[in-house]
Amino acid sequence: MRTKKTPLFIGLSLFSLGVAGAVLSKITPMISHDERGAFYVLLILLILFLSLCAYMLFYAFGQKFILFQTIFEHSNDAISIVDEAGNYIWQNRSHHALFGLELEELQNRQASFYINTKEVWLKEELDRIKEFSGIFKSTSKQGYKDVFISAFRVENDLGDTLCYVQMKREAKEYLRIIEKSQSERERILALAQKDPLTQLFNRNGFDEALQKRLQEGKNGCIIFADIDNFKTINDTYGHDKGDKVLQGVSKLIQANLRGSDVIARFGGEEFVMWVEAELEKSADIAEKIRQSIANTGIESLNITCSFGVSAVEKSALEEAIKRADEAMYRAKKSGKNRVCIS
């Protein structure tokens, strides 16, 4: 199944010469002797031009054919092509490796698979539903094999069947891929919702987790916290030290919250919490966290935080965060290391 350039060009040229010979035998008697030389030259140039056009046309299609054949041949999926009568006409290397059958052996049988113990003919199934996929039994050199099959019917513009294509994988391998893909999706989702430094929620994760609680009808308050003089810590001791301070603060906050509460790092040195409690109780929780941080040396440094607290009224989350932020800035202006309520 290869396309050769030179034999194709020679073949097309010989075909063109044959056609030209037939035309010459008919037209030559009609042309005067003096005009025949010029006519022959023009005819030869026309033949060469037509041969070149035909060659370029076939070459373009041939290149695409080689490209698709190469892709199919080297695919990790076991791919086979079945003709309109339902018989195998081609398989790639992976198909041969999976089933251990030579193409000559496949050509002697109709393409089929098994649902439980019932043999189903591929052609009949695809003529009925055009495409399908699933895990089925299929025959191999070693006997029956559980394989994942994805098959479809190829049609021309008129809706006539050109062929059928099967793509297969061993069932165990397919299930491993699905499991790995699921784990990868969960990992990516976690990255999209978590702050990589502290492993707390980021803004997206915080909003999603909190919306679920609000939809369940739960009430609570927002606590906004900001590490005091954090820029000075970074400038004096470096960003590595600053990162360790952020991690230390996040652990102390988590240690003073319950499993139903939600905490996020909003960026920089800012932390936001939602606690399922009334305003007064939430302020007490904030004060407990403040004291825990102030009384614990983090990275051999005296670290303090300023806090702002506000109630989430009628699910107005953004407004509550804004008021808690404003309360936190009042705490900063009042001397830092304290809790203010909005």
Active site residue 269: yes
Exactly one of 102, 269, 318, 326 is catalytic; name it: 269
Q: Which residue has the tokens 């005067």?
A: 32
Enumerate residues 6+ apart whose C-beta is below 8 A from 148.
Answer: 133, 134, 135, 168, 169, 170, 171, 174
The pairing of strands 339-341 and 305-311 is parallel
Rg of the chain (C-alpha set): 38
CB atoms within 10 A of CB 35: 9
Which residues are marked as active site?
Answer: 269
